[in-house]
Structure 1
Amino acid sequence: MTQATKTWASPQHRHSVIWIVSLATLAIIFDGYDLVVYGTVLPALMADPAQLGEISAQQGGALGSYALIGVMVGALLTGAFGDRFGRRKMMLINIVWFSIGMGAAAFATSITMFGALRFFTGIGVGGLVATAGAVVAEFAPPGKRNLFNAIVYSGVPAGGVLASLLAILLRDVIGWRGLFLIGALPLVILLPLALLKLPESPAWLQARGRTDEARAVCAEYGFPLPSAAPVAPVEKIGFAALTTRRYALGTSLLGMMSFAGLLLTYGLNTWLPKIMADAGYNAKGSLAFLLVLNGGAIVGGLFASRIADGRGPQPVVATTFGLAALALVLLTFGFPLPVLLAAVAVAGVGTIGTQVLVYGFVSNYYETRARAAGVAWCAGFGRLGGIVGPIIGGLLIGAGLSNNVNFYIFAGIALAGAVVTFFVPPRPTAPNTEPEPAVAATVEA
């Protein structure tokens, strides 16, 4: 039997999965856009009080965190409901929610209004992040799950690249409000495609005892029918499953990994342009560092995911955390510009790229009955790190401390993330309770 036969049940199976991965990736690209677009407009908002009001460095960090508080809320809400109501419904709801929030934020007229709408938008972002991992884990064939998760969550740095490029090209033309309106495009681009092309997960349907519906979806889209029996009704599902002995320790450590990864991701994406502007680079030059940071994350994250599919994600995540610590320390040595850009690219691999790998690790760590809750927990708890990251940067910059202090603190957090990763226990197994795709068999209509 060839590897292609083992991976894909039929050409239709492959076609359907590619559509699903593409839709999830596009959704996460706008998550990344939302993450970075605030950092690209923050210097302009701080320089022009006529836009929203006088914004100090501390207020800038706080505004960056409001969206992340919303993301945490949205992720946890999705975790509470996603394993009960399905992947498709949650994805569609959060696409609409996020788009409305981004569009409304473009019309904010005060700091308070802007902060409230950033929080509202964050709820939809959190729901998308939590749902996308569960979707890909349940549709991707074994042997490609880390790769497909990396492709989807590379949408975060890809969105960052998009935001950086559009800010460089269009910020002086359409202003910060125009950049935020671009973030509302999923409502007219992504939602119609998702309504047509995104099915419900057969694994989720079967885990809920809806076997006939699972068979119908498999027949329509060419998916292999999940091979194991549905989860017994007495089994805990959702967040309740995370508290069991099987998952408790792993869930705690995975949450700490996500905390470290998102603290680094949001801290650097929010403040790197400001730090580089303070170091003497002009507006476009400082945004170029943001572009390199996210570009390095895309390339490095995809490369690392291929290794993770062969060797497992745990050693790869530990290594990329270590690379982040090294690169961030190198940024304090005042090297020539080409060396600094190379270090920023490596830092992107070890921070944003590491978080991409963490989502893949988490998505495949849990059974179907706990997958959405597990991803939501790590996305939600991790966003506490995302909230802390911009605040740390704002406090240090507001206190007048050297930019190097920021880099040293971030490097220490990356090192701590590497240490935590080593202690995550192996993925728990539960024989005969987890419906997995029988990828070697074709589906009869």
Structure 2
Amino acid sequence: MNSLTDRTPVVRRRTPLNRSQIAGFWGAWAGWTLDGMDSFIYALVLTPALTELLPRSGYAATPANVGLAGSILFALFLVGWGLSFIWGPLADRFGRTKVLAGTIFTFAIFTGLAATSHNVWELAIYRFIAGVGIGGEWALAGTYVAEAWPEDRRKMGAGYLQTGYYAGFFLAAALNYTIGVHYGWRAMFLTGAVPVVVAILVLLRVKESEKWQKAEAGTVRAKPLREILGPAYRRRTWVACILLTIAIIGLWAGAVYEPSAVIQLATKAGMAKNDAIRTASLATGLLSIATILGCLALPPLAERIGRKKTLAIYFLGMAVAIVGSFGWAFYLPNGLAPFIAWLCVLGFFGGNFALFSLWLPEQFETRVRATAFAFCTSFGRFVGAGVNFLLGAAVLHMHTLGLPVALTAVAFIVGLFVIPFAPETKGEVLPQ
């Protein structure tokens, strides 16, 4: 009997999620989805919005001016993202859910207000403040899911959560394909006010994570920002900042300029304006689906081969995909189809952001976790703002979109040399 019992396979069951954990995840996921939708709306309506607003601001709506103004406005948006590190210490002090709802309120209201813009200056202000709200959502949603979900499920939870942002890309593309084409860019920004409803639901339905409550009850009040930059955390903080900076530079270079590149290629292929816009929306949808697949594939791979090797694979894939799409396919005589095919590859490896949702919470204790997450992501956005401004200037100077974007692949090669300095947390539980 004993021998038969010994040979009986042990079935491991995952810890079931309770109602609060399920509600909390969907609240965080919905906020992150609408965050992605709001942030990508700008990329989709960039050309029509600036074509209307530049003349009202005293500038000719030439392709060069549209490109330069678009880059400047997006750089300001990223600066707003960078300032979102203020949400981290607030979340470590007052809790994840209240501050998460605050970030959603902020980006929703000011995205909606962008629809009322009379000139580029008003649009810039609204997008800047919306950026402050959007930038905080990822850090707080990622921190909440990592703390609220049971240990044996939180890794896949990070992958599931990250799909929300790219589902938002897909949603923005679908809205642009329907509402944007027929009702214009102002209607697109108005749809960005919808997340206010999600913020209210988060406040009413989502309970605070037990890990934060326990840490709050037993912690002497400290300064989390000073702690993550102190001797105990300094190295991992700055390494994470560098890796996130590289990811942000590459993703936004590819994602933000993708609609404009597809529109140019579609127009070159002889498509009418509305058909070119629809093609850009379809390409964005494919990019989003590919990135969602990349997010879902990442956690099992990270559990199997480790966090550092997984990030190296995704970074290398991003470098190849950016060169293949913007450096090669963009310049082909009939490059639309090859460019879109390369976008799918770029999208899959763009799922590298899911690793940070999984990995960053594992590197910091609960009392400083939200601050660390927000600081590392914000640092990358500040640098990304500067790179985006330089990228716009390069596009203006070189009179081409493809080559300047393709050069951002260099950042991912640099990242391959930085990854070894990061801590490997495979097999470790979330630190309390």
Q: How does 1:19-418 map to 2 (within 5 A)?
A: 19-49=23-53, 53=57, 54=59, 56=65, 57-74=67-84, 76-188=85-197, 190-209=198-217, 230-231=218-219, 233=220, 236=222, 238-279=224-265, 280=268, 282-331=276-325, 332-334=327-329, 337-351=336-350, 353-418=351-416
Q: Which runs of 5 or more residues in structure 1 are unaligned?
A: 210-229, 436-445
Amino acid at match of 1:326: V
Distance in 2 (CA, whole Å) between partners of 1:88 and 1:181 is: 25
SS at match of 1:106: helix
Higher helix share: 2
Question: Do 2:316 and 2:413's aligned partners in 1 also have CA atoms closer than 8 Å?
Answer: yes
Q: 1:297 to 1:52 in 2, by over 3 A?
A: farther
Distance in 1 (CA, whole Å) between partners of 2:427 and 2:88 is: 21
TM-aligned CA deviation for residue 389 of structure 1: 4.7
Distance in 1 (CA, whole Å) between partners of 2:86 and 2:52 is: 36
Amino acid at match of 2:328: F
Once the two structures are superposed, residues 97-126 of structure 1 have per-residue CA deviations (whole angstroms, 9 ceiling, x without a partner) of 222111111111111111011111111112
Amino acid at match of 1:382: G
TM-aligned CA deviation for residue 305 of structure 1: 2.0
TM-aligned CA deviation for residue 290 of structure 1: 2.6
Q: 1:329 to 1:292 in 2, by over 3 A?
A: same
CA RMSD, Structure 1 to Structure 2 (Å): 2.5
Which segment is superposed worse, 404-413 or 30-39? 404-413
1:224 corresponds in structure 2 to none
Q: 1:337 to 1:50 in 2, by over 3 A?
A: closer
Which segment is superposed worse, 271-280 or 242-251? 271-280
TM-aligned CA deviation for residue 387 of structure 1: 1.5
Once the two structures are superposed, residues 308-336 of structure 1 have per-residue CA deviations (whole angstroms, 9 ceiling, x without a partner) of 23433221111101001111222233366
Question: Do 2:32 and 2:137's aligned partners in 1 also have CA atoms closer than 8 Å?
Answer: yes
SS at match of 2:18: helix
Once the two structures are superposed, residues 134-192 of structure 1 have per-residue CA deviations (whole angstroms, 9 ceiling, x without a partner) of 1011012213223211211222211111111211222122211111111110112x123
Question: Do 1:146 and 1:357's aligned partners in 2 also have CA atoms closer than 8 Å?
Answer: no
Q: 1:145 to 1:419 in 2, by over 3 A?
A: farther
Distance in 1 (CA, whole Å) between partners of 2:56 and 2:315 is: 37
SS at match of 2:73: helix
Distance in 1 (CA, whole Å) between partners of 2:291 and 2:226 is: 34
Question: Do 1:164 and 1:290's aligned partners in 2 also have CA atoms closer than 8 Å?
Answer: yes
TM-score, normalization by structure 2? 0.86
Question: Do 2:306 and 2:424's aligned partners in 1 also have CA atoms closer than 8 Å?
Answer: no
TM-aligned CA deviation for residue 427 of structure 1: 4.8
TM-score, normalization by structure 1? 0.84
Number of equivalenced pairs: 404
